[in-house]
Amino acid sequence: MKVVIAGSSGLVGTALTDSLVRDGHTVVRLVRSGSGTKLEKAKKSEGRQQEERRTTQKTGAGKIFDVAWNPITCDLEGEPFGKERDKIEGADAAVNLAGASIGEKSWSAERKAILRSSRIHTTRELVCALEKLEDGPKTLISASAIGYYGNRGDEVLSEESKAGDDFLARLTQEWEAEALKAETLGLRVVRLRFGVILAKHGGALPQMMRPFKFGFGGRLGSGQQWISWITLEDTVSVIRKVLENRAVSGAVNVVAPQPIRNADFARALGHAMHRPAIVPAPAFALEFALGEMAEALLLASQRVAPSRLEQLGHRFSQPDLRSALATVLADNGRSRD
């Protein structure tokens, strides 16, 4: 199988690339042009590919190719590698994981614009680039998020639940709408609504762990808000399933089957780290420090069920939070952001 990945250098993209290549598949990583730094990385990567090919011949592992593309013009034929289009032709699927980190910086007007552009505009231009191919991917798997549902209290949310109306919900709806345009090209489109992805070396978990390391961990706000989570290992497993099962399309909630309240999450994390979880962070303090971002990311409640995955009979390797955290924190992990 040949898979094109946008956002391959991120937490999920790195893990997915490793998984696919390990199983003998070919991965084409889209590298943004228009930036000196990224172009230099791309050029270095091209040089590394000869070594990767030698390794492939010895071990039977898969292959990795880098392709430069311009997300402004959706061009796949520019420098530094010549005819980039040829490397993508014949691909089975494209996986869109591009998007600036939601929780990395406070949500100024400028930051919100970056969050929107890195998702909505990039997805639009990716679909445009795929349209130019003569024998392009037949499937587009595009990242989304459970932020689609907004703050919903104790309501159990399936893929059929209505969308929310805050910034993240509106952003996610527009993001998904751009991916859905690929259906007009005849592609099967899957929208993966990711929950909180747990990994020791990236994503939200290292930030969650920080106060616990200094003995200041505890619930956020009331602690009654629901957290819908999933391990990185299970996230990759879900992506692999929808890549391989051509009957799957539409929205898929990528969450473990046991969401948990924030206070219970804090206790489980403290237990896994052998640290107390007794210092609550008041809602007003979080809102004062982080503004709108605190309300959407830390205090909002999303009790999301993996309904589609359960219908497909998907088996999670880590369905229980306590055992999941123990496994994640014990695993140094080979992939990095």
Write the CATH number for 235: 3.40.50.720
Kind of pairing, strands 2-6 and 260-261?
unpaired
User: Does the pLDDT value for residue 33 go beyond 90?
Assistant: no
- 98, part of any domain: yes
Instruction: Tell me how many domains the chain contains.
Output: 1
Q: Which residues, in sequence order, are bridge partners of residue 65? A: 28
pLDDT of the residue at 75: 67
pTM across the whole model: 0.89
User: Does the pLDDT value for residue 171 go beyond 80?
Assistant: yes
Among 98, 66, 91, residue whose Cα is nearest residue 80: 66
Local confidence band at 42 (pLDDT 50, 70, 90 cut-offs): very low
- d(Cα 17, Cα 337) in Å, to the nearest integer? 12
Mean pLDDT of the chain: 89
Q: Which residues, in sequence order, are bridge partners of residue 253? A: 193
Mean pLDDT across the stretch 9-29? 96
- 178, part of any domain: yes
pLDDT digits (tens, 9 = 90+) for 46-105: 444 444 443 343 444 789 999 888 777 776 654 444 466 788 899 999 999 999 999 988
Q: What are the Cα distances from residue 111, in Å, to 69, 117, 155, 168, 172? A: 24, 10, 30, 13, 16
- 192, part of any domain: yes
Domain with 98 in it: 2-198+228-256+305-317
Among 102, 261, 252, 71, residue whose Cα is nearest residue 168: 102
- d(Cα 201, Cα 328) in Å, to the nearest integer? 9
pLDDT of the residue at 36: 42
Local confidence band at 151 (pLDDT 50, 70, 90 cut-offs): very high
pLDDT of the residue at 37: 41
User: Does the pLDDT value for residue 324 go beyond 60?
Assistant: yes
User: Does the pLDDT value for residue 208 go beyond 80?
Assistant: yes
- 290, part of any domain: no
pLDDT of the residue at 334: 44
pLDDT digits (tens, 9 = 90+) for 243-300: 999 999 999 999 999 999 999 999 999 999 999 999 999 999 999 999 999 999 999 9
